[in-house]
Structure 1
Amino acid sequence: MTISERLDRLPVTRRHRYVVALVGVATFFDLYDLFLAGTISTVLTKQFAVSPGDLKLLLASAFLGAFVGALGLGRLADRVGRRTAFLVTLGLYSVFTLLGAFSTEVWMLVVCRFIAGIGIGAELPLADAYLADLLPAKHRGRATAWAYTIGFCGVPAAGFLARWLAEYENGWRWLFVIGGLGAVVVLALRTGLPESPRWLVSQGRYEEAEAVVRRFEKETPEVITPEAPPSPKAPATALFRPPWLKRTAMLYVFQALQAFGYYGFGSLVPIVLAAKGFHLSTSLTYVALTFLGYPLGSALSIPIIERAQRKWLIIGSAAGMAGFGLAFGYATTSAAIITFGFCYTLLSNVFSNAFHTYQGELFPTELRATAAGSAYSLSRLATAAMPFVLLPVLTGSGPGAMFAIVAGAMMILIVDVALLGPPTTGRSVESIADGSTMRTGATR
């Protein structure tokens, strides 16, 4: 029996739960940081007398760094291992987030945000690849959803902390200190993570893979006889040739568009509320309340992510985001703004958990982190471009027109996934990679 088959036959063990929890806590600080600049953008505008042009660059800086990180460090993970790449990404984020807290002018903050973004950009696709490598097929979606549920608690945490600390002159600096110091603690804990056995096999390091799998098997009553077949290496260019070209094209289009739906709301909603005429403290309160939908939506995905086919879960939640986004854009009362904003964030994390699991399943081990990272880099690039695309629309035509563009992007995304996305729920990553229809028990 192969290493992969042994991993897929395991139940969820205590060691699996530890890995999921640690990935989730690290994701907490990444997502906390990604939503931070948009949340406190109005505060920083006053602190540094930021011009509209500088504000766009400040909002884009972390995402530009994330583009570089997702593109470069994803391939690093396929070459030197998931665990080593994890340490590099979190190290970059923690150091430069702390330095950003001591910025004396806007350009220092932009540079720190850019370099911290390099670490942030690689973290999420790397987490997707790592969890897909390690988790049993029948539990992969649910366990990944648990990791992101922990992680998405960082979004309302950023919202409520910003609401509280914004009242103090340098309160925004403490937001960066909290993120940086928290990441340092997680970095220390992460040194105990096991390397991916599937990746070790792909490198011909069978004894190390066997040792990792045996540690998981010691927590189960069944002992399985090992066998470790070789796994072929593949260059990154293999993504652009059959049989992977169709999936690569689908995922690249998807990632370029999903950024408008996901981060188009989370990053710009404080500015949207300011455009609607709300006071700073009121808008930050509304932001914090709508951000509660992120962890709750992530939790909602846990019982359904293994019951529904993931591609259709992505499509259904994307359609809901388009509708609630338009409703939010045209809402004028406090109750409508909070209700539609909350529903938007709730659905967006059903969407997010489904696609994070999905993108980690589509490619073989030797290409998994490269594919996820390179595709995810496009979403970071699109998110970096959003202030330059959407803010002029917001200023010139209002929130309704801005969210009409977001809804249009989600409609194209739906067509892309419906036509080109393969089914994956309940299948081993090997059967998904070779195009097999073999299943492990989940419904189509």
Structure 2
Amino acid sequence: MPDPHRISTRLDTLPVTRFHRYVVAVVGIATFFDLFDLFLASSVSAVLQQEFGVAGTELKLVLASAFIGAFAGALAIGRLADRVGRRNAFLLTLALYSFFSMASAFSTDVWMLVVCRFLAGIGLGAELPLADAYLADVLPPSARGRMTAWAYTLGFCGVPASGFLARALLGEAPLGLAGWRWLFLIGALGAAIVWILRTNLPESPRWLAATGRHDQAERVVRRFEKAAGRRAAPAAQSEPDSAPGEILPARALLRPPWRRRTLMLYLFQLLQTFGYYGFGSLVPMVLAAKGFSLSHSLTFSAVSFLGYPLGSALSIPVIERLQRKWLIVASAVGMAVFGLAFGYASTGAAIAVFGFCYTAVSNVFSNAFHTYQGELFPTSVRAGAAGSAYALSRLATAAMPFILIPVLDSFGPTALFTVVASAMALLVVDVAVLGPRTTGLSVDEISSPRHDGASRARAPY
């Protein structure tokens, strides 16, 4: 019977192969449509607000519905992925999102749209933490951050695509179908195509080995080794992170030695939503509050959204050179600074520049934390841990309209971004004090109960 920890060390000593790149590309294309959809909320809400008379509680529910669904999806499907496998969970998330996003496109009233967005959100919520866990499972430690950043760079192209398509389609009715309906339809059809691509993804060999499916794990590892043109040389054996075939219970995350990391990640996910999705979801409303028209607001939003893929690309050359936790801290400080500058900006040029800078640095932040949260826990709870933490961020994002819109309405954009900056300051303290070091280390070493994050032998500062 193959040794499950030999499976891990063989994976860790492989170079990056064409097969790795294929896996990263398929994951990245899926995140494209996930992020495309997440950032539709602000653009569509602006149109519903102006053209269909949606306001008050209805408007907040349109903004919040997908994120409430995402909370449920990240919590349930993340844990399910630790039991049925990453690949099966991936296929489920895309099927849910594609079907109900298409249903959203044909909603007959606002309440049907809210329900469909909630159900589509169940698929959306699990997608990104599953991607983080899966990539951590299959990528070698020397390239894990860089290749994850490539996947998200491809994925974040969906954000400006969402912005520019909204700018082109909202207010129009190609083939007699309202532009906002086309936006949901495009996302649904794209996800259906990705579902087909994902059927060719291998299951995580680390998950297969951890759950006792050793022969299947061996076959997957050999596919990676064949792509490398050689049989990978075994590295030094690392301590098992759990017994073969054992699935740790979810409550293990709240016990030593994982409790400190769990609390750090949960608090982090609650706070990061203020900075990341607080900006992306509400920027058209912020611009409207500054006196810009819907047309100008959508244009400025689309330009700002260009910072998402470009910022993601900027993270690629640095994500393996800097310790992950300090990259998160530095980029969070940048978000606070540029957010306050955006809040004070009054001219179109300043808004475009600071909006672009904010989104660019926020995606250095995003790539670092997506890699980070996939590294922190053992294989048998990796997807569930990332999913449960990410679920909190979805719940917090669903609450954002109810927290930040009243601040915006009562006190203006500067006050809103002061709240955002305060949340990012608390996040910096959380990660700096409680976060372990991970860069350059095997996920087995990081998730060893003896690893306290202080190891500096192979991890850069």
The equivalent of 2:346 in structure 1 is 332
Matches for 1:216-255 after TM superposition, within 5 Å: 216-224=224-232, 231=244, 232-255=246-269
Per the TM alignment, residue 438 of structure 1 is displaced from its structure 2 partner at its CA by: 6.3
Matches for 1:184-223 after TM superposition, within 5 Å: 184-223=192-231
- In 2, are the aligned partners of 1:427 and 1:439 still within 8 Å (CA)? no
Moved more, 142-151 or 44-53: 44-53
Specify every segment of 5 or more residues in structure 1 that has no aligned partner in the other structure, as ranges. Answer: none
CA shift digits 1:301-348 (9 cap, x unpaired)? 000000000000000000010011011011100011001100000000
CA shift digits 1:372-404 (9 cap, x unpaired)? 000000000000000000000100000000110
2:19 is matched with which residue: 9, 15, 31? Answer: 15
The equivalent of 1:429 in structure 2 is 443
Per the TM alignment, residue 36 of structure 1 is displaced from its structure 2 partner at its CA by: 0.2
Distance in 1, Cα, partners of 2:101 & 2:326: 37
- In 2, are the aligned partners of 1:306 and 1:425 still within 8 Å (CA)? yes
1:375 is matched with which residue: 372, 382, 389? Answer: 389
Give the paired residue count: 444
Distance in 2, Cα, partners of 1:418 & 1:182: 39
Distance in 1, Cα, partners of 2:41 & 2:27: 23
Paired residue type of 2:125:
G
Paired residue type of 1:42:
A
- In 2, are the aligned partners of 1:431 and 1:438 still within 8 Å (CA)? no
Matched, 1:313 2:317: no
Moved more, 49-58 or 139-148: 49-58
The equivalent of 2:427 in structure 1 is 413
- In 2, are the aligned partners of 1:426 and 1:439 still within 8 Å (CA)? no
Q: Secondary structure at the match of 1:362?
A: coil
- In 2, are the aligned partners of 1:293 and 1:342 still within 8 Å (CA)? yes
The equivalent of 2:378 in structure 1 is 364
The equivalent of 1:390 in structure 2 is 404
CA shift digits 1:5-50 (9 cap, x unpaired)? 0000000111100000000000000000000011221112234321
2:85 is matched with which residue: 81, 84, 88? Answer: 81
Cα separation, partners in 2 of 1:395 and 1:160, compared to 1, 3 Å: same
The equivalent of 2:291 in structure 1 is 277
The equivalent of 1:51 in structure 2 is 55
Cα separation, partners in 2 of 1:413 and 1:225, compared to 1, 3 Å: closer
Paired residue type of 2:216:
E
Cα separation, partners in 2 of 1:287 and 1:224, compared to 1, 3 Å: closer
- In 2, are the aligned partners of 1:42 and 1:271 still within 8 Å (CA)? yes
1:97 is matched with which residue: 97, 101, 112? Answer: 101
Distance in 1, Cα, partners of 2:88 & 2:285: 38
- In 1, are the aligned partners of 2:163 and 2:305 still within 8 Å (CA)? yes
Distance in 2, Cα, partners of 1:2 & 1:323: 46
CA shift digits 1:132-153 (9 cap, x unpaired)? 0000010000000000000000
Per the TM alignment, residue 167 of structure 1 is displaced from its structure 2 partner at its CA by: 3.2
TM-score normalised by the chain length of structure 2: 0.94
Distance in 1, Cα, partners of 2:95 & 2:231: 38
Distance in 2, Cα, partners of 1:269 & 1:225: 51
The equivalent of 1:66 in structure 2 is 70
Per the TM alignment, residue 298 of structure 1 is displaced from its structure 2 partner at its CA by: 0.2
1:172 is matched with which residue: 160, 180, 201? Answer: 180
- In 2, are the aligned partners of 1:63 and 1:383 still within 8 Å (CA)? yes
Per the TM alignment, residue 441 of structure 1 is displaced from its structure 2 partner at its CA by: 4.3
- In 1, are the aligned partners of 2:64 and 2:401 still within 8 Å (CA)? yes
1:344 is matched with which residue: 341, 354, 358? Answer: 358
Paired residue type of 2:134:
Y
Specify every segment of 5 or more residues in structure 2 that has no aligned partner in the other structure, as ranges. Answer: none
Distance in 1, Cα, partners of 2:411 & 2:371: 36
Per the TM alignment, residue 220 of structure 1 is displaced from its structure 2 partner at its CA by: 2.0
Distance in 1, Cα, partners of 2:196 & 2:223: 21
Give the root-mean-square deviation of aligned CA atoms: 1.5
- In 1, are the aligned partners of 2:13 and 2:233 still within 8 Å (CA)? no
Q: Secondary structure at the match of 1:2?
A: helix
Distance in 1, Cα, partners of 2:14 & 2:232: 10
CA shift digits 1:101-125 (9 cap, x unpaired)? 0111100100010000000000000
Per the TM alignment, residue 442 of structure 1 is displaced from its structure 2 partner at its CA by: 4.4
Per the TM alignment, residue 359 of structure 1 is displaced from its structure 2 partner at its CA by: 0.2
Distance in 1, Cα, partners of 2:445 & 2:252: 18
- In 1, are the aligned partners of 2:91 and 2:195 still within 8 Å (CA)? yes
Q: Taking every aligned residue pair, what percent have the same amino acid on both sides?
A: 69
Distance in 2, Cα, partners of 1:176 & 1:310: 35
CA shift digits 1:233-265 (9 cap, x unpaired)? 311110000000000000000000001100000
Q: Secondary structure at the match of 2:376?
A: coil
Q: Secondary structure at the match of 2:27?
A: helix
Paired residue type of 1:174:
W
Matches for 1:143-154 after TM superposition, within 5 Å: 143-154=147-158
